[in-house]
């Protein structure tokens, strides 16, 4: 009996993962409004009931896609930062990884464009803070502890940095494909200069 339950659980998880993968493609290609649960179910040859077994609504499915995209981004940023030798270089590597990921069409559209439509401004802002704000605060704390930054009021510094990164992410997502690399480079230059202006030690 336990073996049967184990197989059912694995099948259920596989179906859920397939739904999220199919929904990711749909939301990235067609947008939230133009995607239906029937579309997603059809893509993996599942029933509408199978979708509702895992997700109570299209919004719940979108939320799962959004959270997966953000979790992947956070993992990439942390991995890039971990390769650096100093806290300052770690911050620079994290910024580069984040801005580069914003150039990815799937992440850019789902997180920076469709999420605002699906979740609404307030919920989108709360989700962004959930995934990004704490990480930004940790980077800034490490820089202060390493005497790279002066002990400025932590929350305003983190909040301003969070807003800078949000502006960059949205601008890159909205840029035409041919302009994304230049938009990313422009924002990277400005953000790095702003952060460097608060640095204790000159480069």
Based on the domain organization, do 19 and 70 belong to the same domain?
no
Q: What is the pLDDT of residues 51-101, one digit of tens each?
A: 888 999 999 999 999 999 999 999 999 999 999 999 999 999 999 999 999
From 19, 38, 56, give the residue that closes a domain: 56
Q: What is the pLDDT of residues 87-119, one digit of tens each?
A: 999 999 999 999 999 999 999 999 999 999 999
Could you list the residue range(s) of the whole structural domain that residue 145 is in? 59-203
Based on the domain organization, do 7 and 98 belong to the same domain?
no
Q: What is the pLDDT of residues 122-147, one digit of tens each?
A: 998 888 888 889 899 999 999 999 99
The first and second tokens of residue 120, run together, are 């609404």
Based on the domain organization, do 109 and 149 belong to the same domain?
yes
Question: Which CATH number is 111's domain given?
Answer: 1.10.357.10
Give me the number of domains the chain comprises.
Answer: 2
Cα 113-29-174 angle, rounded to 5 deg: 30
Based on the domain organization, do 30 and 2 belong to the same domain?
yes
pTM of the model: 0.88
Q: How far is CA 49 from CA 18, 29, 42, 145, 197, in A?
A: 15, 24, 12, 53, 56
From 56, 78, 102, give the residue that closes a domain: 56
Question: Which CATH number is 45's domain given?
Answer: 1.10.10.60
Q: What is the pLDDT of residues 155-173, one digit of tens each?
A: 999 999 999 999 999 999 9
């Amino acid at each position: 009996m336990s073996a049967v339950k184990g197989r059912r659980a694995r099948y259920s998880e596989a179906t859920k993962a397939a739904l999220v993968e199919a929904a990711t493609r749909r939301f990235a290609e067609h947008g939230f409004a133009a995607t239906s649960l029937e579309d997603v179910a059809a893509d993996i040859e599942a029933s509408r009931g199978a979708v509702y077994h895992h997700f109570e609504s299209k919004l719940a499915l979108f939320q799962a896609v959004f959270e997966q995209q953000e979790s992947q981004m956070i993992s990439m940023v942390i991995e890039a930062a971990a390769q650096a030798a100093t806290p300052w270089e770690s911050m620079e590597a994290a910024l580069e990884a984040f801005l580069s990921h914003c150039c990815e069409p799937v992440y850019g559209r789902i997180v920076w464009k469709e999420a605002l439509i699906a979740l609404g401004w307030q919920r989108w802002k709360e989700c962004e803070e959930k995934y990004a704000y704490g990480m930004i605060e940790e980077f800034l704390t490490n820089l202060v502890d390493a005497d790279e930054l002066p002990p400025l009021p932590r929350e305003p510094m983190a909040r301003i940095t969070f807003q800078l990164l949000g502006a960059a992410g949205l601008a890159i997502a909205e840029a035409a494909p041919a302009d994304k690399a230049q938009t990313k480079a422009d924002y990277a230059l400005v953000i790095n200069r702003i952060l460097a202006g608060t640095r204790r030690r000159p480069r």
